[in-house]
Amino acid sequence: MNANPRKTRRKPHQHIPQQGWMLTYSDLVTLLLAFFVLLVSMSSVDRVQFERMASSLRQPGDLAGTPEAPRTDVSKRLRDLLMDAEALSANAVEIRSLLFPPQVLPPGVEARTVERDVEVLENPEGVVIALTHDLLFPQGQDRLPPASLRLLDTLTDVLAGLDADVNVSAHTDATEGGADPWDLSDRRALSVLEHFLQRGMDPARFSVSGYGPDRPLDASASPEAAQRNRRVEILVKTAKRPGRYG
């Protein structure tokens, strides 16, 4: 008896791919994503804080340059000092420093330049702020450069808070202006006045004078004397009082 042996069918071998590494890879990618999200969030916070800090540092401060004192407080302090006739000599250095702190100086003008070229002088009618040594006008010229306009803007802020009348006078040295140095000083004084009026100041408060070389601060013949005599004076008429000038 020939019996056909039963043929059993074998199921084909099922190959199960070994993909366990995928789990580790996906975890790593997730961790990296979370790490970079954290970095971005941290950098955003730092940037905001930096902007706040930079903004506070850009705000004009007090004499020491700290950012806590707003410019309005500085202007009030200046008004008080300018109106204090009895203590003007003692307050001259502080007035100069508050008028032109380092943070408001235009490019090219340094603090030591202000120390040398801004003088606070007594006058029988009030206080004189003298800007000397080509701080406003280059030698022989009557046009205000951009840096000079910015310096005058600082004075405008102070004068706007005062009720006193103002006289703008210009002076040349002994060699400026050729045959007519008085004409040059007139034009300089008018240039400063025009800038004040363009900033909204009341014209009724102002007068102008051009003295040429007739009123030197230093009568010597040195170059330093010529530089000091070459000036613009802003007379703030805060008082009628006897005083010292020059």
pLDDT single digits (tens) 169-185: 999 998 898 889 999 99
Q: Quick one: average pLDDT of 152-174?
A: 91
Q: Which of 174, 198, 200 is nearest to 185 (CA)?
A: 174
pLDDT band for position 82 (50/70/90)? confident
Q: Which residue has the higher pLDDT, 22 or 67?
A: 22
Q: Quick one: average pLDDT of 33-40?
A: 68
What does the alpha-carbon distance between residue 34 and residue 66 come to, in Å, rounded to a whole number? 40
Residue 159 has pLDDT above 70, yes or no: yes
Helix (H) or strand (E) run with residue 52 in it: helix 20-58
pLDDT at 158: 86
Indicate the class that CATH gives domain 71-237.
alpha beta
Q: Quick check: 147 and 131 in contact, CB under 8 A?
A: no
Q: Quick one: average pLDDT of 47-60?
A: 40
pLDDT band for position 32 (50/70/90)? confident
**What mean pLDDT, rounded, does the chain reach?**
78
Q: Which residue has the higher pLDDT, 126 or 78?
A: 126
pLDDT band for position 56 (50/70/90)? very low
Residue 38 has pLDDT above 80, yes or no: no
Q: What is the pLDDT of residues 220-240, one digit of tens each?
A: 989 899 999 999 999 999 875
Q: Quick check: 130 and 100 in contact, CB under 8 A?
A: no
Which stretch of 75-89, 113-127, 143-157, 179-193 has the lowest confidence by average pLDDT? 75-89
Mean pLDDT comparison of 73-87, 105-119, 159-173, highest-scoring range: 159-173
Q: Quick one: average pLDDT of 60-84?
A: 60
pLDDT at 66: 39
Q: Please give the structure tokens belonging to residue 49.
A: 């804080």
Q: Quick one: average pLDDT of 41-45?
A: 49
Side-chain-side CA neighbours of 106 within 13 Å: the count stands at 12
pLDDT at 12: 53
Q: What is the pLDDT of residues 178-213, one digit of tens each?
A: 889 999 999 999 999 999 999 999 999 999 999 999
Q: Please give the structure tokens belonging to residue 149.
A: 């306009």
Q: Please give the structure tokens belonging to residue 23.
A: 């789990």
Which stretch of 42-51, 154-163, 170-179, 237-246 has the lowest confidence by average pLDDT? 42-51
